Structure 1
Amino acid sequence: MLLRSFDAMAIDPSADRPVYKQLADLIRTDIEDGKLRPGQRLPAENDYVAEHGISRDSVRRAMAVLRGEGLIVTELRGSRVRDAGEAVIVEIAPSAQVAARMPTEPERKQLGVAEGVPILVITEPNGETRLLPADRTIIKVNNEA
């Protein structure tokens, strides 16, 4: 796998910010800038270790931070940039209540959301409750309801 060349000074072990957070910052920036695209595999842990001269534990902690933010998904064969999927527009009544929370493991699997992605709990005036992934739901208030 061809790695993009990082600035050797990008991670500073003597800085106040822990190296794993510095690595997470670099990878997050690459995702936000489109250098790492949805579905694209990230370099292997050993590649980051060799490129930056940091420990495997630091790489793993950086990946945990990014998973917690919902930016990457880690599978048996490595990590990849999470594909957020296409947004869905959901209409709700003006008096509906919307709350956000982290999903349980069964809810996460049912809704297909990555670790670290919250869900929306929509309670309609009639008591009906819907659970929706917060990262790909657009809420529109239906004033005619």
Structure 2
Amino acid sequence: MIDFGSDRPVHRQLADIIRADIAAGRLEPGQALPSETRLMQQYELGRVAVRQALGVLRSEGLIVTVKREGSYVRPQLPVERVIIEGAAEVTARMPSPDERKELDIAEGVPVFVLTQPRRTTRILPADRTILVYEK
């Protein structure tokens, strides 16, 4: 429940509750979250607090929001293991809008930029990539 006397903002508390429901499997990948109105009623919060909570979860890549439909738990996508050999350089940054669209990356999810000698630079979604270094 929401602790209105807490120093933690109420929208962060709501985000914590929804995040815990996702982690525990009470909200499954692809499942719709309760509507903003339902969340407002259930937790006795205003629309701004509910929208801020959903924004936090979107920025963490846990949910996606479809205009005029609602918010859904983000489906789990397959994870790719990428081998890094020799003198490689890996940096992390936020993707451009075109990269987000092309790679189907949720808002708030960074990318790895993998540069290896004599190979094409690769842009990899950080939430679906395991980098493995091999000597």
| TM-score exceeds 0.5 | yes
Match among 51, 55, 58 for residue 60 of structure 1? 51
How much has 1:13 moved relative to structure 2?
1.7
Tell me how far apart the structure 1 counterparts of residues 75 and 38 of structure 2 sit (CA, whole Å).
23
Moved more, 126-135 or 42-51: 126-135
Q: Which residue of 2 aligns with 1:72?
A: 63
Give 1:103 shift: 0.5
> Per the alignment, in what secondary structure is the counterpart of residue 13 of structure 1?
coil
Give, in whole Å, the separation in 2 of the partners of 1:95 and 1:37. 40
Per-residue CA distance 1:29-78 (angstroms, 9 max, x = gap): 11111111111110000001111111011000000000011110011200
TM-score of the aligned structures, taking structure 1 as reference length? 0.88
Q: CA RMSD in A?
A: 1.1
Unaligned runs of 5+ residues in structure 1 are 1-9
Task: State how many pairs are aligned.
Answer: 134
Any unmatched runs of 5+ in structure 2?
none
**Offset at 1:125?**
1.8
Correspondence for 2:82 among 83, 90, 99: 90
**Match among 2, 6, 9 for residue 18 of structure 1:** 9
Partner Cα distance (1:65, 1:94) in 2: 38
> 5 Å matches for 1:1-145?
10-76=1-67, 77-126=69-118, 128-143=120-135
Distance 1:56 1:17 in 2: 18
